[in-house]
Structure formats: structure tokens, C-alpha cells
Chain A
Amino acid sequence: MIFSVFIFILSLLIVLFSLVLMIGKNLRNKRQKDPVKEVKKFYNQTTDKFLAVYGEIIQAYRTKDVSSYLNYTAENMRLREGMKLLDAGCGVAGPAVFFAKRFQTIHIDACSISDVQIDKAKDKVNENKVELKVFPKVCDYHTINEVYEIENYDRVYFLESYGHSADKEKLLHAAWDVLKPGGMVYIKDLFKREVADEWEQHYIDKICKDIDRAYEYHIGTLYETLSILRKKGYILKFMKTPDIPLDEFEHLSISNEFQELFDIGKIDSWDDYVFPIDFFEILAEKPIIPSDEERHLYFLNKQ
């Protein structure tokens, strides 16, 4: 008995010592990836797969007839003739071309980090003869304030591209810089779902991490985004769940199909599956306020 206790204590010390040594070594070797480069690599490798399943509108939350969803988006973005738009994370410019065809006097700068997507976007722009309205360019959307003209855009929009950003504060600050006073940022994306139960939330967090890993995403919380917007000084016009008739809703079946077909982010078992996300659309304005002192009056006077 005494002998067993002795062996036990000796083993305890050995395991403890080894763990301390190995953890130290492991921490020293930790290297971090560049999230922007990872997104570029991801889309350069998978755009053809996305196109094969999604078509040119690479969005999961949409209607069966995609054009009706894009019309809905245009309404909620409050697009008007003559506006200058910046499509941040434009994919293959499916939505940009759609808007360009719908509005006669619109100007859209469209950017994506993926050169493969931009090549395809340029082809699509030429095919649809909107080359005088849509201008695709390879660019990291965190640097739009360095690449594009400052205070030049009526709208900066993110159609399920916002979540690819690992630095959402930098992104929304860059959008602020390129927006004209009175211009608006529009975000339609998925956000982490929140529940009261601790373990269910834990499962949700884990599934979101899986999605992040599979799609080079960084699913954020709604509050994080609202907080960044408000701290920067954006005026929140609305924040809501996309409101489309249920019979027209595609029920996210397209993303399931994509996962099944290409084994990207595939759900292995539905047994423990908890639906992990909510979709929201947010419209926020960069206000026309002459000075900071008058800022508090803005809310009182604004109709």
C-alpha cells in the first residue's frame, strides 16, 4: 500500500514536470496567421465552388428568386439615382451589377481581397455592359480609406462580407472615412445567437468557431458591432432581422447544399446541433453635424 502511494506521488511529480516543460515550449512556438491573407486564400481557392452552388450572389440568407432579395436590399439601403456606392467585399460583383442595371446613374466601386473574384467580377461587368458604372478592384476592405477617396460615398455596404473581418473596429472606422456626411453604412450579416442557458451558449460558441474555421469568418456579436458604430458616432437608423415573406425564403438550404457538396464546414451530426446564428441588417448614418458640441442636439432635432 505504502509502495503504491509512493509510485503514485512520483508519477504525479513526473506528469506535472513534463506538462510545465511542454506548455512552456508550446507557448513559445505559437504563431499567428494573418486573417486577411487567409480570406484571400480561401476565396481564391473556393470561388468556383461558391459559384457552382450559389451562383453570382454569394449570400446564404436570401429568397428563392435572388433578384427579389436584391430589390429588398436596395430598398433597405435606401438607394437612389445618382448615388456613389462602395461594395465592400463584393464577391464576383453579382449585387453590384444588379444595382447598376436597376439604377441608371449610379456609380459603384466594388472591392474584394480575392484577385480571382475580381477577375470574374470584371468579366461579369463587361458581359453586362456596366463598365461605366461598376469598378471592381482588388483591395483589403480594411484599407478602403487609403485606396478610395475620402468622404466620397453615399453608401458603403457589406452583404455577408462584414463577418470576414477580424478587426471590425478598423473596418467601420475606414467606412466612416470614405462616407460623405449624411452617407450610410449598410451591413447584412450573421451574428452569434444568444441564449440564456450557459451550456447551450457554449455549444453555440463552439459551432460558430467551426463556421469561422471553415469559412475564414469571424462571427461577431451584434452588440460589438452596435457598440463600434455608436462609439464612432454613427447614427443607427435601424437594426432588424431581414423581413422577407416566409414562402419566398430559401431557408438557408443553399448553404447546407454547399456544405454537403464540398465538405466545407459540413455538419457531421445534427444530434447536438443548436442553431448558432441570427441574421441582421443594420443601417447607420454618418451624421451631418457641424461640431461635436452640437452632437447631443442632433437627436433632439432630427425628425
Chain B
Amino acid sequence: MKLKSTLAFISATTRSVDWRLSFVPFIMACVYLWSSLFNIGFSLGSLSVFALSVCTTFGFAALGYFINEFFDKADDLKAGKINKLSLISRRWQLALFIVILSACFLPWLYLPKNTITFYLILAELSCFILYSAPYLRMKRSTYFAGILDTLYAYLIPGLLSYHTYSLLASRLSSSVPILFFIALFFIGYRNIFLHQIKDILGDQKAGMISLPMRLGVKSSYVFLKLLYFLELVLILSFSVELIFIDKRYMPCLLLAIIYLGYVQADLLNIFKGATYFALLPIRHVLDLLYQLWFPLLQLSILVWIDWRWVIIVPFHLLFFVNRDFIVTFYGITIDYLWYRSLRPLLSAVLNYPIFLLFKMFGVDLIKEKKSALSYLKNKFR
């Protein structure tokens, strides 16, 4: 019980709901992708690298939020927002900071590393500090806030994971998925831009001028459409690129096409310029692909390569899949497979012969408005 409440406390103060089910699953997808790309087979060693990757990913995400919250106290007060960190004592803040730092850096005692690793980690930490710390405080910068945010939340973790797994495999892939990293940047940037729109009223109160404020409503929408467009192009591009790297990634392109086809109505609404789309749920239309399907697909490919990786499937489902997604998906699947397909089919296959059989004996069950069973029950009661 104590462990549960401690975890809940850490989760709340590091605002884990904001990252555990959003960009962390995408970073995990990268980990699965690199594992399969570098043909990392299942072993106790590779499993420990995976576990430590998860640990450091959580650590970095939590550290980013911790630093941000820590330096945000004054702005949050102005904007009337609740700063989770200011709800706890200094001593607890310090304890939490130590836990987060441990999660961040201790795994690197074991994880494969070299000089580039240190540069990347340094770049990540510099982004955190540049973004939040007083005097520097680039989050107040109209133009750099979004870029920095994207760098530390998406691109650098993506590059770091790629580099780590290439070290683990003791080789570099023959071709680096450049388009994947470009896509990673734009996906991140679009997300941050949407966040800036969502936070705009609070930011105004805090005296910040974010990019959407500077652009104004109309230009922000045009810019956003451009970002979505680039994102679509990049999704398809990197899916094709992955196939050229290795044919095993053919399902990535299939997934992209099926998903984009499935959400085409929402995408069209965005491109046609549906008013207020940046404030509506359709703004997240592509996120389900990155947060749910792409990670699951990469995990499946990894399991396909070495079935023993199946051991991490429950872990992934438990920690990186939003329960709402599963419930919705289950509902849709049941609806399509059972209510719309199997049930009507079974009904036609079974019911019609029964109806004909009764008809042969002069009983019209439709006219009687009874099922065969209730007719028989009535008859022989």
C-alpha cells in the first residue's frame, strides 16, 4: 500500500499522465524498432538493456517535468494554475529529485555508451535547463520554445535510443532512417504547437507570447495545416524508407495506409479548414498511430524476429497503453466481428433452416412473432 501511494505521489508530482501514455510509448516504439533493426536477439543481457532503457526513459521524462515544474512556480501562480511541486515540502522535493536522478543516470552504468552518448545526454539536459531555468527561460521565447521542447521530448531521446542500440549491436545500421528522425521532429513540433494553443489563455495571464499568439488565429491554423501535411508525407516516407532498409518493415507502410484511410474523414476536416479544429478532439487524429499502433506493430515485429520477446508484451500493455484505447478497441472489434458480421451470418445460417422446417409443418414463426424455442414451449406446456 505504501509503495502504491509513493508511486502515485511520484506520478502526480512529475505529471506522469502527460507523458506516460503520449510520447513515452512512441520512444518505446523506437526502442523496439532499433532492437529489430539491429537484430538484437532475446537474452538476459538484452532484456536488462530493455528494462534499463525503460527506466532511463521514465527518468528523463520525469526529470524534464520536474525541472519545468520547479522553475514554473511563479508563472503558474500568475496564470492561476496549480503547481504540483509547490504542494509538497522542500524535503520531499529533494527526495523526489534524487529518485528521478537515479532513474535517469544509474542505468547508464550498465547501458552501452561512448562519447556520443554523453553528448546526447548533455544536449538533453541542456535543453531542460535552457527551456525552464530563470534568466535563460527559453520557454518564454516565441520561436525557440517549441523547437527546444521537441528536441528534448522527441528527437534527442530518439537519437539516444538509436545510438544505444547500435552500440549494443556493436554496429551501425547500413542505412540510418533519416526520414524517421525528421518525422520525429515534426510530430513533436506539431504536438507542442497544439499544446501552446491549448495553454494560450494561461500563457497570456503569465505574460508569455507563444508562437500561436504571435501568429494570430488565422496564420496559426494555416501553419498547423502545413505541419499536418508534412507529417502525413513523412509518415508515408519513413514507412517506405523502412521497407528499403529491411523488407520485414512492410507492415509499417500497411499500418500507415490503413490508419490514414480509417481517419481520412477527420484529416479532411482538418485540411478543409474545419473551424476550431485546433480546439477539437480531431486535432489528436494522428496521435493514436504513434501512441498505440506504431509501438504495438514494432513490438509485434520484434516478437516475430524472436518470439521470446513476447515477455515484454504484458509490460507494454500495462504501462504504455491507455486503457480507454483498449476498451474502445474491444467495443469496436466486438461490434464489427460479432454484431455486424458473425451474428447476422449465424442468424442467417441457423435461423433460416429452422424457419423453413417449421414452415413445412405449417407454422409461420414470423407471423406468430415467436422464436422456435418459445413456440415449442407454448405448444408443449
Contacts and interface: CB of A to CB of B under 8 A. Distances in A.
A23 B271 contact: yes
A153 to B, nearest CB: 38
A19 B201 contact: no
Interface string B200-235: 110010000000110011000000000001001110
A270 to B, nearest CB: 12
Q: Which one of A10, A200, A202 has the greatest number of beta carbons of chain B within 10 Å?
A: A202
Contact of B204 (A3, A7, A15, A197): A197
6 contacts: A4-B178, A26-B268, A202-B217, A202-B276, A203-B279, A272-B201
Contacts of A193: none
Interface string A8-46: 101110110001001100110000000000000000000
B237 interface: yes
A91 to B, nearest CB: 30
Contact of A199 (B200, B236, B237, B272): B200
Contacts, number: 70
A3 B276 CA distance: 38
Interface in B330-374: none
B15 to A, nearest CB: 14
B217 A198 contact: yes
A203 B204 CA distance: 14
Contacts of B276: 202, 205-206, 209
Given A7-B241, A26-B268, 14 more contacts: A1-B178, A4-B178, A4-B179, A11-B233, A11-B237, A15-B236, A26-B265, A197-B204, A205-B275, A206-B276, A206-B279, A206-B280, A272-B198, A272-B201
Name the 5 nearest CB pairs between A and B, nearest first: A11-B236, A206-B276, A11-B237, A8-B237, A12-B233
Nearest to A12: B233
Query: How big is chain B's contact interface, by range?
Result: 20 to 34
B264 interface: yes
B1 to A, nearest CB: 31
B240 A11 contact: yes
A51 interface: no
A3 B244 contact: yes
A274 to B, nearest CB: 7
B17 to A, nearest CB: 14
Contacts of B201: 199-200, 203, 272, 274
Contact of A22 (B204, B268, B275): B268
